[in-house]
Amino acid sequence: MSTDPRAYARQNLDRFRRELYDFLRIPSVSAKTEHAGDMAAAAEWLRARLQEAGLAAEIRETPGHPIVLGKWTGAGSDAPTVLIYGHYDVQPPEPLEEWHAPPFEPTERDGRVYARGAADDKGQLYMHVKALEAHLSATGRLPVNVIVLAEGEEEVGSVNLVPFVERHAAELACDYVVISDSNMFDEGMPSILFSLRGLAYLEVHVTGPRGDLHSGQFGGTVANPANALAKILASLHDAQGRVAVEGFYDDVVEWDAETRERIRKLPFDEERYRRELGVDALAGEEGWNTLERLWIRPTCDVNGLLSGYTGEGAKTVLPARAMAKVSFRLVPDQTPERIAELVRAHVERVAPEGVRVEVRELHGGRPWRANLEGALVHAASEALQEAFGVPAVLQGEGGSIPIVVDFEEKLGASALLVGFALPGCNLHAPNEWFPLEHFDRGIEALVALYKKLGTA
């Protein structure tokens, strides 16, 4: 047996993959009650693997699906503590008919493993478990104290996670939080996230007459809630693609020239991106390129529209109400609370006479910005370069992971988001896959990361 964790990992990659496939065979779909047994099985499977690797592992119940907690505290109080966060639940696999192979039967093809959860997030979570095993098996110890926290409700809103973290803040206290649930910039091009966008998700309800009316017998005499909603939604952008809500940009911290320069130098192919999306032209806020629009600029997107008659044919209804789901991606230092307030004021101001409007807040999450100066990002950059042979790039992420800010605040830690999937991995879609080369190289990178953090 090797006493070098990296060599150990290389020698055991085949077994690591086979174990991952066992993990992927458990249909741990958190959204469906019929999978409650599978959820429990997946949690227990993961707990057992952590235990085997050498951690003290246990299942912790929540009002929803359980949390798996693994700990190793032998590095001593001088060594930093790293909390590794991931999730063992997966998205529902539907529509099943679009899968080329069964979603819960991992299939290798062209250097990829296809299965639900391969990328999001079982594959990436399990890389950490195996990196820990490599250290413990090869050297009998870890360079850092470790807490593994794997939840089973990430795909259904993580409703029990923040209360759990709050209640157990002392137990979970750590210096660093490491999360692998995101993408590399491209194949073979490792990356570290420098930002996450936040989210303010609202519903706009417009109500007019007491009930639906006949559009002939009443049309032209009362404000139509669907027309009014269209007017309200259209008013949310100006002609330059900026969000036209007063005060919307007040809290946006301009990024430094270096960051913009770094983004603009990335080898990003806008034409390929456009072609893959199947649109005639890309669009967005004037004065920013696609990656900037995606990573460092806030947005306003309508997510849903419903009003009146939507079936086949011509029903002449003047609808009594209309509804839109509208969400805003936020950038530092915007907050969902303030943005909801501004949007509410805007909607009330532009709503035409004769209708009533209501803005409901459904969901919010703060944006996040990495501390690029500390030991954490430094160690990760070196570890990724060693494992992949090229420097890691800094990239943003257009989506939101609200728990990151909560972890940092409630545990007094810095977070590192280092992912190994790819933009085309079909997360939340049929035929999800994960690149096997990234699985192998990524485990090596994580082995190196923990080592560097222990000696930083």
Question: Which residue lies nearer to its own copies by CB, 59 or 223?
Answer: 223
Binds its own copies (CB under 8 A): choice among 43, 127, 355, 394: 355
Cβ at position 102, least distance to its own copies in Å: 22
C-beta of 73: minimal distance to its own copies in Å?
36
Q: Which residue, 182 or 381, is less far from its own copies as judged by CB?
A: 182
318 near its own copies (CB under 8 A)? yes
Q: Determine the Cα–Cα distance for residues 367 and 195; give it in Å rounded to an integer.
A: 8
Q: Are strands 81-87 and 414-417 parallel, antiparallel or unpaired?
A: unpaired
Contact call for residue 244 and its own copies (CB under 8 A): no
Could you tell me which residues are beta bridge partners of residue 329?
Answer: 199
Q: What is the CA radius of gyration of the chain?
A: 24
Of 252-281, which residues contact its own copies (CB under 8 A)?
Answer: 273, 276-281
Q: Which lies closer to its own copies via its Cβ, residue 5 or residue 208?
A: 208
Closest to 207 (Cα-Cα) out of 233, 234, 228 = 228
CA nearest to 358, candidates 348, 350, 370, 369: 348
Euclidean distance between CA atoms 87 and 180, whole angstroms: 10
Residue 266 in 3-state DSSP?
A: coil
Q: In a 10 Å sphere around its CB, with 0-12 CB exposed, 13-18 middle and 19+ buried, how is residue 274 labelled? A: middle
Residues 176, 68: Cα–Cα separation, whole Å? 19
Told to check if 33 binds its own copies by CB under 8 A, we report no
**Residues 111, 287, 354, 391: which binds its own copies (CB under 8 A)?**
354
Distance of CA 146 to the CA centre of its chain: 23
Report, in Å, the least distance between residue 293 CB and its own copies.
Answer: 4
Q: Which of 35, 329, 344, 366 touches its own copies by CB under 8 A?
A: 329
Identity of the amino acid at 26 = I
How far is 286 from 240, CA to CA, in rounded Å? 6
Nearer to its own copies by Cβ, of 232 and 447: the residue is 232
Of residues 371 through 410, those in contact with its own copies by CB under 8 A are 397-400
Q: Is 222 in the site for its own copies (CB under 8 A)?
A: yes
In sequence order, what are the residues at sequence separation of 6 or more whose Cβ sits closer than 8 angstroms to the Cβ of residue 193? 182, 370, 394, 395, 396, 397, 417, 418, 419
Closest by CA to 125, choosing from 100, 88, 173, is 88
Nearer to its own copies, 172 or 326 (CB): 326
Amino acid letter at 145? N
Closer to its own copies at the Cβ: 48 or 306? 306
77 part of the interface to its own copies, by CB under 8 A: no
Query: Are the C-beta atoms of 70 and 47 separated by less than 8 Å?
Result: yes
**Nearest to its own copies of 70, 364 (CB atom):** 364
* Shortest distance in whole angstroms from residue 242 CB to its own copies: 11
Q: Closest separation between CB of residue 364 and its own copies, Å? A: 9
* Binding string, residues 176-215; x marks residues near its own copies by CB under 8 A: ---------------------x-x-x------xxxx-xxx
Looking at the Cβ atoms of 59 and 266, the one nearer to its own copies is 266
Strands laid side by side in the 393-397 sheet: 368-369, 191-196, 393-397
Closest approach, Cβ 338 to its own copies, in A, equals 18
Residue 87 binds its own copies (CB under 8 A):
no
Q: Is 136:56 a contact under the CB 8 Å cutoff?
A: no
Binders of its own copies among residues 101 to 140 (CB under 8 A) are none
Q: Write the burial class of residue 378 (CB in 10 Å: 0-12 exposed, 13-18 middle, 19+ buried).
A: middle
Residue in 31, 111, 171, 309 binding its own copies, rule: CB under 8 A? 309
Collapsed DSSP state (helix, strand, coil) of residue 288: coil
Which of residues 7, 59, 305, 345 is near its own copies by CB under 8 A?
Answer: 305
Task: Compute the least distance from the CB of residue 348 to its own copies, in Å.
Answer: 13
Provide the minimum distance between the beta carbon of 320 and its own copies in the complex, in angstroms, as a whole number: 9
* C-beta closer to its own copies: residue 62 or 290: 290
Binding-residue total with its own copies (CB under 8 A): 85
User: Which residues, numbered 334-353, are part of the site for its own copies (CB under 8 A)?
Assistant: 352-353
- Alpha carbons 163 and 159: distance in angstroms, whole number: 8
Which CB atom, from 162 or from 305, has the smaller least distance to its own copies? 305
End-to-end CA distance of the chain: 27
Q: Does 300 bind its own copies (CB under 8 A)?
A: yes
